[in-house]
Structure 1
Amino acid sequence: MVKERLEIIETDEAGNVTATYVQSSTDREGISRIDSISPKTVKSTWQKTLDVFLPAGYPHSVTSDYTEYQIYDSVQAFSSSIAGLLSSRAVLSSVGVGDATASPTAALFLSIFQESVGRIATILFAHRLGTAFEPECKMYRLLADILNDIAFVLDCLSPVLPKPLRIAVLSFSSVLRALCGVAAGSAKASLSAHFARWGNLGELNAKDSSQETVISLLGMLVGTLVVSRISTPTATWTTLIILLAVHLETNRRAVRAVVMKTLNRQRATLVYHHLKQGKVPTPETIANEEIIFERDGVLRHADGRLLGHCVVGASMSQLLSGIAQETARTGSSKVDTNTLSQLLHLFRHEKYLLWYTVTGRRVHVIIIIKKDAVVADIITAWWQALAVAEEVAKPGAETDRLDLLQRSIKTAVTCRSTYEDGLRLEGWDLTTSALETTSNTRVKME
C-alpha cells in the first residue's frame, strides 16, 4: 500500500493557479482517489473579459511599458474615431451629398483619383524611408498621427473651398492618409516586436486588433451622437480641435512611455555621454532623456549643443571625395594616395573606416562599414564620430586628422571594451541594428 501523497498544481500562462490535484493513499486493491481543488481566488467577470483582449500570460508575456502605452493608445484611437466621423461628413459634403447639381460620376472619379495618388505616395514613401521606420519607430509612430490629423483638418476645410481647389485639397489629404498608413503600420510592427517577450508577436498583434475593434466601435457609437448634435461650423471646429488635441497628446504620452532597448543614433549618443562619466545608464534613464523628433545623423554634445552630422554606411566615393576636398586646399585636385594608405592602415583592425571634414566649427563625419562588421562595431564607429566631433569643437583643436582619428579610435574602443558587458546586464540589446536608417553599402578590403 502506497502512503505517499501526490499533489499536482496546474497554472495558466501567467503562473496563476487554476487547479490543484491531490491523490489520496492507495488502498490494498491499488485504487486511490484524486481530488480537484479549485483556487481560493477566482477571476472575476471583469478579469475574464480583459483576458479576451490581453495577450496570454499578461503581464509577464509583455514588457513593462506595454500597459501604459496601450492605455494612451486606446484613448487616442477613441478620439480619432470621433474626429474621423466629422471629417467624413465634411468630405461627403464636398463631393456633393445634398447638392442636386452634383454628379455621381464626378464623385466616383474624384474617389478614384484620390485612391491613385494615395497608393503612389505609399510606394514612394515606403521606398524612401522604409529602412528608417524600425530604428526610429517612436518618431514615425507619432508622425503618422500628426499627418492623419492634418488630413482631418484639410477634409473639414474642403466644403468652403472652390471646387477646383477642393479636388487638390482632398487629394493631398489622401496622400497624407496614405503616408500615415505606411508609417503607422511599420512603426506598430516594430513596437509590437518590442512588447512581445515570449515569442508571442502574432498573438499580441491579434489581441491589439481586438482592442482597436472595440475602441473604434465605441468611438463610432459616441461619434454618432456627437455628429448628430453638432451642425454649425463653430461647434464643428471647436469639437474637432479638442479631439485632435486629445489625440496628439495621448499619442505623445504613449510614445514617451515606450522604453526601447536597441541603440539608434540618438540613444547611442546619450549612452556615450553617460559612459564618459563612468555611468552605465538603464534603458529607462535614456527613454526619459531622448526627444521624439531628432534630426537624422546629428552629433550632439552632452549639453545638447549641435556639433555636426554623421553619415553611417557611406560609400567609398564619399570617402574619396572627402579626402580630395582636403587635399585640394594644398593645390592638388586628386586623392592623396599617401593619406588614403595611412587611413586604411589606421583602421586595419577595425570593422569600419571613418573620415571627417570641418566647416567652421561643425564637423561632417562619414562612416564606411566593412563587410564583416557587426552591430557592436557600428556602435563603436558612432561613438568615435562623437569623440571626433567633441575634439574638433574644443578651442585650439589640432588639425592633424590622422592623429585625432587615432586618439578617437582609442576612446571609442575603450568605451566599448569597458562597458559592453555592463550595458548587456542593464538590458540593452547590442545585437539588433538600429543605427542605419538607409540602405547602405559594405566594403571588402582585398
Structure 2
Amino acid sequence: MALTGDSAAITFTEVDEVNHPTATYIYSEPAADSAHHLTHDKKHGGGWGRVDVAHTPPSSTPTSWSSKTLLDFLVDVFLPAGYPHSVTNDYAPYQFFDSLQAFSSSIAGLLSSRAVLQGVGVGNAEASPTSALLLHILQDTSGRIATILFAHRVGTALEPECKMYRLAADVFNDLAMILDCLSPMIPAGAPRVIVLSTAGVLRALCGVAGGSSKASLSAHFSRWGNLAEVNAKDSSQETIISLIGMLVGSVVVSHVTSFAATWITLLMLLALHLSLNYAAVRSVQMTSLNRQRANIVFSTILSSDQELTHLTLPESTKQPPTQSHPQLAWKTLSPAQVAKQEKIFERDGILRWSPAPTTTSAPSSQVLGYCRIGISLQHFLISCPSFPLSVSTGTLRTAIPLAHLTALYNKEDYILYLTNSGKSRTWHANILLKNTSTAQSQLKSWAHALLATRVLSMPTSDNVEVEGIMDVLNRTLDFLNNDERFVRYVTALTEKGWDLNVAALETRSGRRIAV
C-alpha cells in the first residue's frame, strides 16, 4: 500500500501465495467540483471514492484459451497451491516417476485381474458363485489379519525407513500380480486357494507399507504446513494417471490374449514399474537422520576431522594438537549428497563407515558391526555371549561393568557398551536410552557407537577385553565432548539443511531407563 500524488491516492497491491502481484487497486477521493456533490457527501457522512483496478497480468476472457492458460489450469488442479515454493525441491522428480509407475501398474493390474477372473471360474459353466464368494472372503480375511500383524511388527520403522518401505510396497504388489497370473495354471482346490490367499496377503502388506510411507513422504514434501493438500493433490494425480492407464490397458488386454504374450507383457510392465519406483525413491532427499544416513553423515564428518587420528594412540589424547579453526576442514554432507550415497535396502542396525568422497574415486564403505538402540536393560545385560552368564530365579549375573558405565555416562542421556562376537572382529553396540534422552542425544549415542567401533576395528587396537573397551569408550566420549565438538557437529549439519530434532533411529518400540 502506498500514498501517491497530491490527492492522497492510496495504492493497494494484491499478491498470490508466493507474493507475486496479481492486481493493483488505486483509490482516490473525488474532487468537490459541484455543490450537488458536496450536498450529497454531507448527507451520507462522507464522499464516494473512486477505485481503479489494474490486473497483473491482464485477466483473460473465458474464451481466450491459450496453452499457457491451460497449463496454469492443470497446475492449479493437480499441484499444491503455491507450487513450486510450497513443496520441497525433490517433489517434482518424485511425482514424475511416481506418475509413470502408476500408469504401468494400472495396465499390469488389468492383466492380473483377468487372470483372477479366469481362476475363479468366469466363463466356466461348472463354476459356482458361492465358491467364488467364499474364496473372496478367505482372501479378505487373510489380508486383514496380515495387515494387523505387519503393522504391529514394522509400525515403528515405517517412518524412518519410508523410502525402503515405499519401494517394498510395490515389490509386494508386483509379486501379488504374478501370483494372480499363475492362479489359472494351479489346480483347483486347496492349491489355488493358497496362491490367491497369498496374493491377498501381499496386497495387504502393500497397503500398509505403501500408505504409511507415502504419508511420511508427503510430510517431507510439504513446506508450508500443507500436508492435507499435498495428499489430496497426490490422490488427484494418481486418479487421472490410473484412469489413463485403464483406458490404455483396455486396448492392451483386448489384443494380448495368448499365454506367451500375456507373460511377456506382464513381466515388461512389472520391470518398468519397479524401475520407475526405484528412480522415484532415489530422487527423495530426506532431511532426517535415520540409521543409514547417520552412518554416512557422521563417518564423513569424523573422517574429515584431523584430530580423529589421535584416538588411535592413548597417550595423544592427553595433549591433543590445537588448531585455530579445525571445523574448517570438516566435510559436512547435504541431504542431496547423502541421497546419492544411501541404499534403498540396507541391513537394519548396521554400522557402516563411509569416508568422505574424493574427486578421483567414490568412498569405499567398511562394515564395522551392528548397533541396537533403545533396548531393554535385560537385553543389554545378556547381549554378550562371550561373557559367562548364569540366570537363576530373579537373579542375573553379567560381566558388563555397570558401575564404570554408569559413572562414565553420568552426564549423558544414554549408556553405550560394545561386545565382540569373536574371531570375526564384528562389534555389536548396545545403547540404553535414559528417560531424559532427546533426538540429538540419540544421534550422539549413534555417533559415539560408530566412532568407538571404528577405533576398535583398527589394526592397532589389539586389546578387546573389558579394560580395552572401556578405555576406547572413555577416549571417544572425551573426543566428542572436548570443546563441545559434537555440538558443533550438530550446528554444522543444521546449516546444511538437516533436521536433527526428528528422532528417526529407532525402528522398534524402545525402552527407557532412569538411573
Confirm or deny a common fold (TM above 0.5): yes
Query: What is the CA distance between 1:56 and its match in structure 2?
Result: 1.0
Deviations 1:44-102 (A, max 9, x none): 12211221111111111111111111111111111101110000000000000011111
* 2:123 corresponds to: 98
CA contact (8 A) 1:265 1:434 kept: yes
CA contact (8 A) 1:324 1:336 kept: no
**Matched position secondary structure for 1:263:** coil
Structure 2: distance between partners of 1:432 and 1:306? 25
Structure 2: distance between partners of 1:200 and 1:2? 44
Match of 1:304 among 337, 342, 365: 365
CA contact (8 A) 1:324 1:334 kept: no
Cα RMSD between the aligned structures?
1.8
Residues 178-189 of structure 1: matches in 2 within 5 Å? 178-189=204-215
Query: What is the CA distance between 1:16 and its match in structure 2?
Result: 2.8
* 2:92 corresponds to: 67
Query: What is the CA distance between 1:219 and its match in structure 2?
Result: 1.0
**Matched position secondary structure for 1:382:** helix
Structure 2: distance between partners of 1:182 and 1:416? 37
Aligned in 2, Cα 1:34/1:41: closer, same or farther, shift over 3 Å?
A: closer
**Matched position secondary structure for 1:326:** coil
* 1:335 corresponds to: 398
Structure 2: distance between partners of 1:262 and 1:77? 27
Match of 2:81 among 47, 53, 56: 56
**Matched position secondary structure for 2:435:** coil
Corresponding pairs, count: 441
The range that moved more, 394-403 or 287-296, is 394-403
Match of 2:505 among 413, 431, 435: 435
* 1:20 corresponds to: 24
Deviations 1:253-307 (A, max 9, x none): 1101110000000001100122121112111111111111001100112232211
**Matched position secondary structure for 1:162:** coil
CA contact (8 A) 1:322 1:355 kept: no
Match of 1:417 among 487, 492, 503: 487
**Matched position secondary structure for 2:416:** strand
* 1:285 corresponds to: 337
The range that moved more, 385-394 or 77-86, is 385-394
* 1:169 corresponds to: 195
**Matched position secondary structure for 2:100:** helix
The reply to whether residue 363 of structure 1 matches residue 427 of structure 2 is yes
* 1:136 corresponds to: 161
The reply to whether residue 313 of structure 1 matches residue 349 of structure 2 is no
Query: What is the CA distance between 1:409 and its match in structure 2?
Result: 1.5
Structure 2: distance between partners of 1:323 and 1:347? 20
AA of the residue aligned to 2:343: I
Q: Which has the higher helix share?
A: 1
Q: Which runs of 5+ in 1 are unaligned?
A: none
CA contact (8 A) 1:158 1:170 kept: yes
CA contact (8 A) 2:387 2:399 kept: no
* 1:234 corresponds to: 260
The reply to whether residue 386 of structure 1 matches residue 450 of structure 2 is yes
Structure 1: distance between partners of 2:111 and 2:155? 32
Structure 2: distance between partners of 1:103 and 1:245? 35
Higher Rg of the two aligned structures: 2
Aligned in 2, Cα 1:121/1:324: closer, same or farther, shift over 3 Å?
A: closer
The reply to whether residue 11 of structure 1 matches residue 28 of structure 2 is no
Structure 2: distance between partners of 1:412 and 1:317? 28
CA contact (8 A) 1:275 1:415 kept: no
Structure 1: distance between partners of 2:494 and 2:460? 37
Query: What is the CA distance between 1:208 and its match in structure 2?
Result: 1.1
Match of 1:154 among 153, 176, 179: 179
* 2:476 corresponds to: 408
CA contact (8 A) 1:2 1:27 kept: no
Query: What is the CA distance between 1:24 and its match in structure 2?
Result: 3.7
Q: Which has the higher contact order (CA 8 A, sep 6+)?
A: 1
Structure 2: distance between partners of 1:322 and 1:105? 54
Structure 1: distance between partners of 2:495 and 2:241? 38
CA contact (8 A) 2:299 2:450 kept: no
Structure 1: distance between partners of 2:6 and 2:219? 51
AA of the residue aligned to 1:69: Y
**Matched position secondary structure for 2:512:** coil
Query: What is the CA distance between 1:327 and its match in structure 2?
Result: 5.5
**Matched position secondary structure for 1:436:** coil
CA contact (8 A) 1:65 1:259 kept: yes
Structure 2: distance between partners of 1:336 and 1:306? 26
* 2:133 corresponds to: 108
The range that moved more, 8-17 or 60-69, is 8-17
**Matched position secondary structure for 1:184:** helix
Query: What is the CA distance between 1:242 and its match in structure 2?
Result: 1.4
Match of 2:297 among 268, 271, 282: 271
Query: What is the CA distance between 1:407 and its match in structure 2?
Result: 1.3
Structure 1: distance between partners of 2:211 and 2:295? 27
AA of the residue aligned to 2:379: Q
Structure 1: distance between partners of 2:29 and 2:505? 63
CA contact (8 A) 1:262 1:430 kept: yes
Deviations 1:187-210 (A, max 9, x none): 001000001111111111111111
Query: What is the CA distance between 1:247 and its match in structure 2?
Result: 0.7
The reply to whether residue 214 of structure 1 matches residue 266 of structure 2 is no
Structure 2: distance between partners of 1:345 and 1:173? 54
Q: Which runs of 5+ in 2 are unaligned?
A: 33-37, 39-46, 60-67, 305-329, 355-363, 391-395
User: Identity of counterpart residues, as a percentage?
Assistant: 49
CA contact (8 A) 2:296 2:353 kept: no
The reply to whether residue 353 of structure 1 matches residue 370 of structure 2 is no
**Matched position secondary structure for 1:67:** helix
AA of the residue aligned to 1:299: L
* 2:313 corresponds to: none
Structure 2: distance between partners of 1:326 and 1:14? 63
AA of the residue aligned to 1:149: D
AA of the residue aligned to 1:272: F
* 1:117 corresponds to: 142
**Matched position secondary structure for 1:367:** strand
